């Protein structure tokens, strides 16, 4: 394994994004000996990083050998000088972040998506957006998902990452670059399914937070999450069938599906759960956004999934309830009272 990493780390990795998840990913690959190009949007943050050796805003206890990092606030330079591009920005910022790239900028590159959301308004997964804007082939696209809070990764607590791609061997090669003492890696071919699972679980986690804010207990939450898991499986199967991207033999109890749902619903690290908790306690959406000063992917994701479901016409009562609270001003108390009657 480590001889393989020594062979692969002649390749340069470019990281797009400088939030908590991007920082955790940067730690993994630099710990594995890779030199990286790192796009950090604000020049003053680069200066701080170079001087103090840690991110000024996120995971401040994660220190880096900056000799192995080429920082830049010019995304075109970062992409040009890298062989593998990791995109780790919130889905709501994808268009803005990539806007300055030339349409041929990604030609000959491999792209790893660490995005857990659908691009708002367009309702596109990242690979669909890259194909549309950059004519980027699915064969060179991979996803990095699974139950992996950035805080635990940065603290080197054992985490499991699932990499998905069309070609199994290429996907395994990518996954091997991340494996180390605190990262175990898994591989599958369900490129579309894992991304939609990453979208849906954030909505369910936001609902779990609302329930917690309304002072429901663990007994109710266990029933709620079990129902979320069932609804998510049915939704994923319907989307895959509709889009013609169904992957045979998918185990929806695997960590990238059920595991990620569980940790996002239960963990205090979950920003979606935290956001929902504030909604349940009576905060408005805007007030919760200002208080957290971070993006909760589940907010926009609920609208995206409801839009997608207009064609599917699936019964998704939990997502519908969360959407009604967030976007239609429905009462959290009344909405969850109605939900109590439908859970199994």
3-state secondary structure of 173: helix
Per residue in 76-117, pLDDT (tens digit) is: 999 999 999 999 999 999 999 999 999 999 999 999 999 988
Q: How many CB atoms lie within 10 A of CB 125?
A: 25
What is each CA distance from 220 to 106, 211, 227, 339, in whole angstroms? Answer: 47, 9, 11, 11
Q: How far apart are CA 309 and CA 291, in angstroms?
A: 31
Give 71-130 as a DSSP string: EES-HHHHHHT-SEEEE-S-GGGHHHHHTTS-TTTTTT-EEEE---SPBTTTTB-HHHHH
Q: How far apart are CA 185 and CA 228, in angstroms?
A: 25
pLDDT at 3: 45
17 contacts 40 by C-beta, under 8 angstroms:
no
Residue 196 sits at the vertex; the CA angle it makes with 195 and 198, to the nearest 5 degrees, is: 65
Residue indicated by tokens 């609902």: 207
Q: Is the pTM of this model over 0.75?
A: yes
Residue 202 sits at the vertex; the CA angle it makes with 198 and 218, to the nearest 5 degrees, is: 125
pLDDT of the chain, 344 residues: tens digit per residue = 444 454 455 789 999 999 999 999 999 999 999 999 999 999 999 999 999 999 999 999 999 999 999 999 999 999 999 999 999 999 999 999 999 999 999 999 999 999 988 998 899 999 999 999 999 999 999 999 999 999 999 999 999 999 999 999 999 999 999 999 999 999 999 999 999 999 999 999 999 999 999 999 999 999 999 999 999 999 999 998 888 777 778 999 999 999 999 999 999 999 999 999 999 999 999 999 999 887 789 999 999 999 999 999 999 999 999 999 999 999 999 999 999 999 99
Q: How far apart are CA 77 and CA 181, in angstroms?
A: 32
pLDDT at 9: 57
pLDDT at 8: 57
Q: How many CB atoms lie within 10 A of CB 131?
A: 15
Per residue in 4-17, pLDDT (tens digit) is: 454 455 789 999 99
Nearest to 22 by CA among 107, 98, 115: 115
pLDDT at 54: 94
Q: With left for phi above 0 and alpha for psi between -120 and 50, is residue 108 left, alpha or beta?
A: left
Q: What is the dihedral of CA 19, 294, 128, 111, to 10 degrees?
A: 10
Distance between first and last Cα of the chain: 46
> Could you tell me the domains of the chain?
2-189 (3.40.50.720), 192-340 (1.10.1040.10)
């Amino acid at each position: 394994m480590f001889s393989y990493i020594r062979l692969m780390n002649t390749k340069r990795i470019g990281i797009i994004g400088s939030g908590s998840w991007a920082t955790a990913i940067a730690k993994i690959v630099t710990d594995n000996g890779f030199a990286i190009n790192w796009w950090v949007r604000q020049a003053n943050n680069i200066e701080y990083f170079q001087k103090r050796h840690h991110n000024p805003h996120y995971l401040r206890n994660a220190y880096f050998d900056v000799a192995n990092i080429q920082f830049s606030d010019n995304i075109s330079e970062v992409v040009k000088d890298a062989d593998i591009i990791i995109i780790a920005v919130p889905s709501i910022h994808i268009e803005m972040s990539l806007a300055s790239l030339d349409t041929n900028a990604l030609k000959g590159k491999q792209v790893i998506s660490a995005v857990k959301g659908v691009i708002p308004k367009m309702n596109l997964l990242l690979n669909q957006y890259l194909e549309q804007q950059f004519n980027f082939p699915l064969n060179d696209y991979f996803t990095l998902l699974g139950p992996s809070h950035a805080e635990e990764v940065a603290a080197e607590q054992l985490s499991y990452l699932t990499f998905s791609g069309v070609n199994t061997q290429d996907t395994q090669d990518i996954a091997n670059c991340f494996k180390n003492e605190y990262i175990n890696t898994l591989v599958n071919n369900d490129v579309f399914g894992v991304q939609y699972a990453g979208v849906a679980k954030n909505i369910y986690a936001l609902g779990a937070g609302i329930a917690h804010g309304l002072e429901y207990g663990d007994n109710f939450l266990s029933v709620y999450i079990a129902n979320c898991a069932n609804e998510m499986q049915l939704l994923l199967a319907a989307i895959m069938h509709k889009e013609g991207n169904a992957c045979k033999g998918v185990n929806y109890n695997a960590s990238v599906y059920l595991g990620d749902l569980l940790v996002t619903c239960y963990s205090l690290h979950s920003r979606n759960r935290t956001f929902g908790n504030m909604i349940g306690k009576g905060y408005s959406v805007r007030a919760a956004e200002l208080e957290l000063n971070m993006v909760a992917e589940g907010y926009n994701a609920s609208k995206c999934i409801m839009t997608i479901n207009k064609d599917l016409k699936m019964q998704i009562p939990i997502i519908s309830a969360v959407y009604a609270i967030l976007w239609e001003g429905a009462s959290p108390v009344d909405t969850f009272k109605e939900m109590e009657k439908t859970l199994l």
